[in-house]
Amino acid sequence: MRWLVIVIRRNLRPGVSVKEVLSWACFDFANSGFSTVVITAVFSAYFVSVIAEGAPWATLLWTLALSISYVMIMLSAPVLGVFADARRSKKKFLIFTTVGCCFFTGLLSLTREGDIAMSVLFIILANFFFGTGENLIAAFLPELAKGRSIGKVSGWGWAIGYLGGLLTLVICLVYLISGLFENAVVSGTMVITAVIFLIASVPTFWLLKERGVNKRELKLSIFSGFKILKISISKLSKFPDLKNFLFCLLIYQAGVQAVITLAAVYADQAMQFSTTDTIVLILVVNITACFGALIFGQIEDRIGHKNTLFLTLLGWLLTVLVAYASIDRTVFWIAANLAGFSLGASQSAGRAMVAFFSPKNKEGEFLGLWGLAVKGSSILGPMSYGLVVWLTNGNHRQAILTLIIYFLLGMVILSRIDVNRGRQLVTEQKK
């Protein structure tokens, strides 16, 4: 165990303890249950098949509800990032968003067949708090890890996060096979997810420290959000490679977010998986994703963020093609695990690359723009999928095939990014 502590400490900045970085990773462990159970494995399919009663527009409505929450996150992320940096209040906001997400996730347990308006309202608010918390926890990363180890530490966070999603799914599966009727089972999984999220995030709130310069003289107003968004985006002109990468991330993440958001819906509608089948599938995929994050986290700091990300995009291309062609469940299982392996790596590499390109004391602001790009992709990908399903009268296979466009275009943009130049510009800003 001592050797493990030594290995971890070598990758941390002076003054950062192993206990603190593990507490940071605990938040990835805590919140992964929400994305895994609510967005991916259980509630999405429940909404489409039960609450919306399998209507042709059900998938589109689900993606529209999530899109509204992402627009809210996009508009608030830059101003929140600047405010959190200036007032050293990232952790306070993180606590608030966590409690908010857990509260509305718990309320999802009240939804039943036909409760469309209530379900849409609760998922919008729960996902808004979840996404905002993701931006805030990401802003701590450059304060904890050395520059050369950002990818590795980010990979640890994602890997531990998938373990959290795995634990939540296991508990939900046990609850599912307890013999209760399906409505009660789905309702119960929402409560389980909220409770685990809240409890597992306590080490983060207790041990993670605020750093940076406190600039209390900076005056900010909630009405200055659009102005700050404009200023934040205009700053990207000084960092062309970061700007290009954020656009690249917007494109390729559209495909990733479509898969994450609609995996259970595709399994249910195209492959006729039951709720139990889907949970077991996502359980295994989470294990694969954990290994993917760990393995590529090590590879990333050897071959670089860009090369690692390029490999994962190739993996996503293969995933979509295999999923489209899958007729029996065995082939679909292969596609799902390819997605898991690529997911852990691409998520970690994307966050690490933005942090790598961010100047000191501007991490919260630029990682807010990272969140902006991710949330934009979360609108673009799932909404385009939902539109294709609607226009093709429920053809999910045609919808998933269109995702190839996002990964191919992302690879083209990524190939034009100069990582060394981008990092040099950041170094010059420090002088």
Domain count, the chain: 1
So what's the pLDDT on residue 431? 54
User: For residue 48, is it within any domain?
Assistant: yes
pTM score, two decimals? 0.81
So what's the pLDDT on residue 199? 96
User: For residue 183, is it within any domain?
Assistant: yes
User: For residue 223, is it within any domain?
Assistant: no
* Highest-pLDDT range among 1-10, 152-161, 189-198: 189-198
Quick: pLDDT tens for 244-268. Answer: 999 999 999 999 999 989 989 999 8
Quick: pLDDT tens for 324-375. Answer: 999 889 999 999 999 988 887 787 777 778 877 877 666 666 776 777 788 8
User: For residue 222, is it within any domain?
Assistant: no
The parent domain of residue 161 ranges over 18-206+232-430
User: For residue 169, is it within any domain?
Assistant: yes
User: For residue 133, is it within any domain?
Assistant: yes
CATH number for position 419: 1.20.1250.20
User: For residue 401, is it within any domain?
Assistant: yes
User: For residue 224, is it within any domain?
Assistant: no
400 CB-contact burial (10 Å; exposed 0-12 / middle 13-18 / buried 19+): buried
